[in-house]
Structure 1
Amino acid sequence: MLKSKEIYIQAMSASCCAGVSKEEIYESLLLSKSGIKKHKDFLIDGSLSAIGKIDSPHSFENIMLEQVEDVLKSSELESFHNTFLLVGSSVGGMAWSEEQFIGSGGSCIDIDLNRQSIYSISHTLNKKYGFKDSITFSTACTSSSNAIVFAKELLESGACEEVLVVGADSISLTTVNGFNALGVLSDECATPFDRDRTGMNVAEGVGVILLGSMPSDIKLVGVGCSSDAHNITHPHPEGNGAKSAMQNALDNANLDASSIDYINAHGTGTTANDRAEGRAIISLFPNRPLVGSTKSITGHTLGACGTIELIISAMVLKNQTVPQNFNLKNQELEELNLPIENISIEIKFALSNAFAFGGNNVSIIIQKVSDES
């Protein structure tokens, strides 16, 4: 039987409210420097909302282009002309559509459909870089994670030599008010896995990952998906779908659960998600790997969280230091190994979770490649 093609992270870049580069984001995690701030311009009732807005004078579109350009310069590619583009986004051009619609007083005349659709991001990127081809995934909070899963399939099949995965979601009024209507928004910084949690923080962000077969220090070794469809918005209370996705990723990587050293949890800070994911981890990982949610620092970047949090997991592997769970004071599930201070420890395998509405679940495993490998 032929050995599967090995896949590596060739280059990566990210920007969110916690920092405008992957290095700044990781430093913010280590320093417990949250990017969540209170704003009054997003909820229709005029009340304050705690959200994660990127602190930059540039537009979200320009921030995204800067991250893609950074990956191109960091890679050994001269262009993206032979690169397959996969985009993951939950809202696409929603924020731009709102800006145009509200700015015109409610008129739909002269609105560019290419910029307001779900594929608006790939449209923008293709105009500048001319990718070989592109596909957009929109599966809510697993959008960019599903894009990574498909990237692995494309590379293993030999359909292309390199794939650029871009997870991107900007803040929009529709998103913020939609989550507010569900009653899950917090007006404070989220505290995932805390008994006294008050909800989640909507945030914006961009995560860009170039995948290929050229060896590097981070290898993509396993992906797993599931779709339990327990409820349109709530996961199964015992985390059955989450557990299946993690087990499928372990099987795909040919690893035992005891191999995982660190789990970057989806950890939104909502009661339903935290309990379901926590129970799934406890059930599947009796060796009690280190578990952390980074959303108290970055906010929930929706369709971009898959790439951003995989980049964070890669930074953990590179630096061999797991960030503390910021502001965790009253842990609900005692069986979870949730560090409340930064821990430097040997870490070989990390698993990153992303879960979405409708029971759509994705888990991804990456490996730190030693110099001797």
Structure 2
Amino acid sequence: MNSATSFPVFIHDCGFHSALGCEPASIHQALQTGQSKGMLIDDGILNTHTSTVIGRVTEALPEIPQALSQHSTRNNQLALSALLQIKTSVEDAVLQYGSNRIAVIVGTSTSGIADGEVAYAQKIDQGVFPENYHYSKQELGDSANFVADLFNITGPCYTISTACSSSGRVFISAKRMLQAGIVDAVIVGGVDTICRLTLNGFNGLEALSNQLCQPFSAERSGINIGESAAFMLLSTKPSDIALLGAGDSSDAHHISAPHPEGNGAEQAMRAALDDACLTPDHIGYINAHGTATPLNDSMESKAIYRVFGDKVPVSSTKPLTGHTLGAASATEAAIAWHILRHQLPLPIQRCTNKAEDIEVALVENEQYLGSKAILSNSFAFGGNNISLIFGYTHG
């Protein structure tokens, strides 16, 4: 990205629903106490009949309107729960700019696969699919199409699926679209829901933990999968909080393992700083990718240390939400927005035995953001790396 022509993209609203809950009070309480009601033991989802911890949305989800029944999946119900939180802001933007001047860009990796799993189970058992099932419901593009149909948006509309960086890349695409003057506002976000395909795939990679994940700990043993939806309304109209910069890289080191030295991660973070015209001193907190796998946490620590040293507080919020896959970037962007908007203390890393290979300064006691900006990392299979910087537009 070219910092010479860069400018902030302003955030006007945020809707969020994850294992943390969906109400600001429950989200803030979980972030401050380090206790998330949605992190639950599940002993029935894995084909190996072993247990794992998942980040489950426990609140009832809204029903898909009958007029949009072609989009009726649990994934879209979770998306709807977050989208209803920003409904007024989106409707105001439609009135101001026109529906054709608003874009929809969504990141996902599961879409409606969970509903497809149920439908195929019935097909195997009874010989026919459920009457209301159609394969289009589990297509990746359905996530963005649902958002556009919900708000009658007629501008550009598409889904990005780059594994666990999917909903980070939507911010980069939105920024470029706004910068080019193609649209005046963009609805961005990510949504993924728990499904057997994903859980058993990660279990096959021996990447799952059977207990609450422990990022940066000597005892870290793998990830917890979670589900989440987070959506924001972006435009160039000034607001107090903005996407200040974004950086990406694709190191293509390995199909699933990160580069052991974190070269691509470092490149993404430096690109984000350059895009924002900021120095490392401007960053007051880093929300790490922090999956609690041995390889990820080691390489990310090395990369962060090379850019920031041990002066910027770091933590991973995945013990509170689970790793929400294609929704991870948007999930952690929403957490950054809540910290900035409500001036919350930084999420504490409850790491009782910090590993020797972790050089960064973890958030271990109550502290608040000391600078104007938060950097959030998301790293995906194939070395698809995203770093986003959110912060105040003043100070």
| CA 128–319 in structure 1, closer or farther in 2 if over 3 Å, else same | closer
Corresponding residue of 1:368: 392
Corresponding residue of 1:68: 83
Query: In the TM superposition, what whole-angstrom CA distance separates every residue of 1:307-347 from its partner, at most 9, and x where no partner exists?
Result: 11011112222334443434311112453110122212433
Q: Where does the alignment leave 5 or more consecutive residues of structure 2 unmatched?
A: 62-73
Is the Cα–Cα contact under 8 Å of residues 104 and 186 in structure 2 kept in the other structure? yes
Query: In the TM superposition, what whole-angstrom CA distance separates every residue of 1:161-196 from its partner, at most 9, and x where no partner exists?
Result: 000012000101000000000101011111101111
Of 14, 19, 41, 2:44 maps to: 41
Corresponding residue of 2:258: 235
Of 66, 77, 81, 2:93 maps to: 77
Amino acid at match of 2:226: A
Higher mean alpha-carbon deviation, 147-156 vs 121-130, is at 121-130
Higher mean alpha-carbon deviation, 343-352 vs 269-278, is at 343-352
| CA 343–97 in structure 1, closer or farther in 2 if over 3 Å, else same | same
Corresponding residue of 2:244: 221
Q: CA deviation at 1:5?
A: 4.5
Query: In the TM superposition, what whole-angstrom CA distance separates every residue of 1:278-333 from its partner, at most 9, and x where no partner exists?
Result: 11001111262111100011110000011110111122223344434343111124
User: Distance between the aligned counterparts of 2:241 and 2:393, measured in 1?
Assistant: 6
Amino acid at match of 2:56: K
Q: CA deviation at 1:91?
A: 1.7
Higher mean alpha-carbon deviation, 277-286 vs 19-28, is at 19-28
Amino acid at match of 2:35: K
Is the Cα–Cα contact under 8 Å of residues 15 and 22 in structure 1 kept in the other structure? no
Amino acid at match of 1:336: V
TM normalised by structure 2 equals 0.89
Q: Does residue 113 of the first structure (1) align with residue 128 of the second (2)?
A: no
Is the Cα–Cα contact under 8 Å of residues 13 and 21 in structure 1 kept in the other structure? no
Q: Does residue 209 of the first structure (1) align with residue 232 of the second (2)?
A: yes
Is the Cα–Cα contact under 8 Å of residues 11 and 242 in structure 2 kept in the other structure? yes
Is the Cα–Cα contact under 8 Å of residues 321 and 342 in structure 1 kept in the other structure? no
Q: CA deviation at 1:70?
A: 1.4
Amino acid at match of 1:184: A
Query: In the TM superposition, what whole-angstrom CA distance separates every residue of 1:261-293 from its partner, at most 9, and x where no partner exists?
Result: 111101011111000111100111126211110
Amino acid at match of 1:36: M
In the TM superposition, 1:1-373 aligns within 5 A as 4-34=6-36, 35-58=38-61, 59-74=74-89, 76-78=92-94, 81-82=99-100, 83-105=102-124, 109=129, 111-131=133-153, 132-286=155-309, 288-332=311-355, 333=357, 335-370=359-394
Aligned with 2:226: secondary structure? coil
- Percent identity between the two aligned chains: 34
Amino acid at match of 1:133: P
Aligned with 1:355: secondary structure? strand
User: Distance between the aligned counterparts of 1:116 and 1:290, measured in 2?
Assistant: 39
Q: CA deviation at 1:122?
A: 1.9
Aligned with 2:167: secondary structure? helix
| CA 250–283 in structure 1, closer or farther in 2 if over 3 Å, else same | same
Query: In the TM superposition, what whole-angstrom CA distance separates every residue of 1:41-88 from its partner, at most 9, and x where no partner exists?
Result: 210122222111100232443231121121122453356823200010
Higher mean alpha-carbon deviation, 152-161 vs 79-88, is at 79-88
User: Distance between the aligned counterparts of 1:358 and 1:22, measured in 2?
Assistant: 35
Q: Where does the alignment leave 5 or more consecutive residues of structure 1 unmatched?
A: none
Amino acid at match of 2:319: S
TM normalised by structure 1 equals 0.94
- The Cα RMSD (Å) is 2.0
Q: CA deviation at 1:4?
A: 4.3
Report how many residues are paired.
371
